C-alpha cells in the first residue's frame, strides 16, 4: 500500500509539471521576446551594443547613434524622443547595424531600443536612454564660393567660422572635400576661425569639387557646437593664367596653355610698388569707387584720391586691383605710375574680365615691391606645400 501511495504522488507531481508548462501557449512565446529570453535555459548568443550608452549625458547631437548586433541580427530598432517623436534610421543589408538618419536636437532626451535574434531563435532586447548637450555657444561656417560656381585653377576652399573653435582636429573631421578626379590637398589654419583647403598643385580643368561641412551638433570644445551643415559644389573651368611684368610693362595671358593676348599695363610707381607674387581673382565690379581714405590716406592729401572705376577686378584684400584706367593709357606699356594697382585700357580690362573668373591666377613679377603675403586674398599659393601642410591638424 505504501509503494502504491508513492507512485500516486509521483504521478501527481508529473501532472503538476505538465500543467505548469501548459499555462504558456506557443503563440504567447512567439510574441513575447522578453519571455523567450527568460524561459529558455540557454542565454541568447546574440549581443547588442548601443551608442550612446545608457544614461549618457551631454551627448553631442551630431554624434552617430547606432545599434549593433553581434552573433545575430537586428529585428527592430527605434529611437524615440521624450515628446514621442520617432527618429528615422536605416539598417545595413545584413541587418547587423542600425544608424539614425536624422539630426537630434539640443537638450533633448531620447530612448534607443534594439531587438535582436540569434541563429537559434533566442531573442534579446536592450535600451539606452540618453540626453543631448545644451551648447554654451554655436558657430556657423561660410565658404568663400557660391554653390554651383565655375572657378579658376587657383581657387581655394576658404571657410570662415562665426567664432573661434578650440578643437581643430574635430572640425577637420567634419569637413569633407570630394574631388573628381581625385586631387591631393590639405587644410591650413590661419586663425581659430579661418581654415583653407587647397590642392597641392593647381586644379586640373574640369575637376568637380564638393564640400560637405557636417558641423551641426558637433562639439568643438569649450561648449561650442556647430550650428548647421553646409554643402557647396564647384567646377574648375578652363585654365586662365596671366603674368604681369613690371619691367616690360606688359601682361601676357594664357588660356589652357596657349598664349592668347598681350596687354600694355602700368603698375605701382616707386612710392607704391605692386607686391610681387601669385594672386587669385577675388571678384569683379562695375562702377567701383576707389577711395584712398579706406587705407589711411586722406583724399585731399597729395597721394589721396577718390575716383569711380568703370571696370575693376579685386586681386587682394589690401586693395590691389586690375582695372580700367583711361587716364594712364599713355603710360601703359612704358612706365609704372599707379598707386599699386594694374592699370590697363578700358577695352583690355573688359576683355580680361570676360575671359577670367573667380580663382584665376595673376602673377606679378619684377615690380620692385615686397613679396605678396599668403593671407592677402586668394594668394595661398605663396606658401610652400610643406609649410602649408604643417598648418593642418588632421
> Residue 41: its pLDDT value, please?
52
The span from the CA of 305 to the CA of 316, in Å, is 19
The span from the CA of 274 to the CA of 291, in Å, is 17
Is residue 283 a contact partner of residue 378, using CB atoms and an 8 Å limit?
no
Distance of CA 244 to the CA centre of its chain: 35
> Residue 362: its pLDDT value, please?
98
> Residue 115: CA atoms inside 13 Å, Cβ hemisphere, count?
12
Nearest-CA neighbor of 229 among 169, 140, 156, 162?
140
* 394 C-beta neighbours (distance < 10 Å), count: 11
| Cell representation of residue 260 | 592668347
In this predicted model, what pLDDT tens digit does every residue of 184-238 receive, in sequence order? 999 999 999 999 999 999 999 999 999 999 999 999 999 999 999 999 999 999 9
The span from the CA of 372 to the CA of 379, in Å, is 8
Residue with cell 536612454: 129
Nearest-CA neighbor of 123 among 25, 49, 41, 35?
35
Cα-Cα-Cα-Cα dihedral sign, residues 331, 368, 151, 378: negative
Report the predicted TM-score, pTM, of the whole model to 2 decimal places: 0.83
Strand-strand pairing, 66-70 and 47-51? antiparallel
| Cell representation of residue 98 | 542600425
Mean pLDDT for back-to-back runs of 10 residues, the chain (394 residues): 39 36 32 38 86 97 97 98 97 98 97 97 97 98 96 98 97 98 97 98 98 98 97 98 98 98 98 97 95 82 88 96 98 97 98 97 98 97 96 78
> Residue 394: its pLDDT value, please?
61
- Domains within the chain, CATH numbers bracketed: 29-131 (2.60.40.3780), 137-237 (2.60.40.3710), 240-382 (2.40.440.10)
> Residue 40: its pLDDT value, please?
47
> Residue 8: its pLDDT value, please?
40
- Residues labelled catalytic: 323, 341
Edge-to-edge strand ranges of the sheet holding 230-236: 149-151, 230-236, 208-213, 175-180
Q: What percent of the chain has pLDDT over 70?
A: 89
| Cell representation of residue 363 | 602673377
> Residue 295: its pLDDT value, please?
75
Amino acid at each position: 500500500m505504501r509503494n502504491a501511495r508513492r507512485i500516486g504522488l509521483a504521478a501527481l507531481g508529473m501532472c503538476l509539471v505538465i500543467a505548469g508548462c501548459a499555462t504558456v501557449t506557443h503563440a504567447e512565446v512567439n510574441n513575447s521576446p522578453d519571455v523567450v529570453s527568460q524561459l529558455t535555459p540557454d542565454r541568447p548568443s546574440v549581443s547588442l551594443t548601443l551608442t550612446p550608452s545608457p544614461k549618457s549625458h551631454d551627448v553631442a547631437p551630431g554624434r552617430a547613434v547606432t545599434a549593433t548586433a553581434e552573433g545575430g541580427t537586428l529585428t527592430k530598432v527605434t529611437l524615440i524622443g521624450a515628446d514621442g517623436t520617432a527618429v528615422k534610421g536605416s539598417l545595413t543589408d545584413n541587418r547587423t547595424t542600425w544608424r539614425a538618419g536624422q539630426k537630434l536636437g539640443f537638450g533633448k532626451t531620447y530612448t534607443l531600443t534594439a531587438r535582436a535574434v540569434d541563429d537559434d531563435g533566442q531573442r534579446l532586447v536592450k535600451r539606452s536612454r540618453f540626453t543631448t548637450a545644451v551648447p554654451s555657444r554655436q558657430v556657423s561656417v561660410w565658404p568663400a564660393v557660391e554653390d554651383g560656381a565655375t572657378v579658376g585653377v587657383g581657387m581655394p576652399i576658404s571657410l570662415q567660422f562665426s567664432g573661434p573653435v578650440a578643437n581643430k582636429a574635430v572640425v577637420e573631421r567634419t569637413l569633407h572635400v570630394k574631388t573628381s578626379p581625385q586631387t591631393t590637398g590639405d587644410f591650413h589654419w590661419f586663425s581659430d576661425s579661418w581654415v583653407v583647403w587647397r590642392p597641392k598643385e593647381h586644379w586640373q580643368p574640369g575637376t568637380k569639387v564638393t564640400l560637405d561641412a557636417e558641423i551641426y551638433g558637433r562639439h568643438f570644445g569649450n561648449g561650442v557646437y556647430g550650428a548647421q551643415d553646409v554643402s557647396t559644389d564647384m567646377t574648375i573651368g578652363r585654365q586662365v593664367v596671366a603674368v604681369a611684368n613690371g619691367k616690360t610693362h606688359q601682361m601676357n595671358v594664357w588660356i589652357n596653355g596657349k598664349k592668347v593676348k598681350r596687354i600694355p599695363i602700368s603698375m605701382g610707381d616707386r612710392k607704391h610698388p605692386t607686391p610681387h607674387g601669385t594672386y587669385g581673382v577675388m571678384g569683379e565690379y562695375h562702377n567701383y569707387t576707389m577711395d584712398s581714405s579706406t587705407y589711411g590716406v586722406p583724399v585731399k592729401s597729395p597721394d589721396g584720391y577718390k575716383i569711380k572705376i568703370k571696370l575693376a577686378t579685386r586681386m587682394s584684400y589690401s586693395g590691389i586691383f586690375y582695372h580700367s584706367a583711361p587716364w594712364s593709357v599713355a603710360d601703359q606699356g612704358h612706365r609704372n605710375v599707379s598707386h599699386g594697382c594694374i592699370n590697363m585700357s578700358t577695352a583690355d580690362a573688359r576683355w580680361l574680365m570676360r575671359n577670367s573668373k573667380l580663382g584665376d591666377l595673376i602673377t606679378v613679377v619684377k615690380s620692385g615691391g615686397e613679396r605678396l603675403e599668403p593671407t592677402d586674398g586668394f594668394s595661398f599659393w605663396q606658401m610652400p606645400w610643406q609649410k602649408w601642410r604643417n598648418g593642418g591638424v588632421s
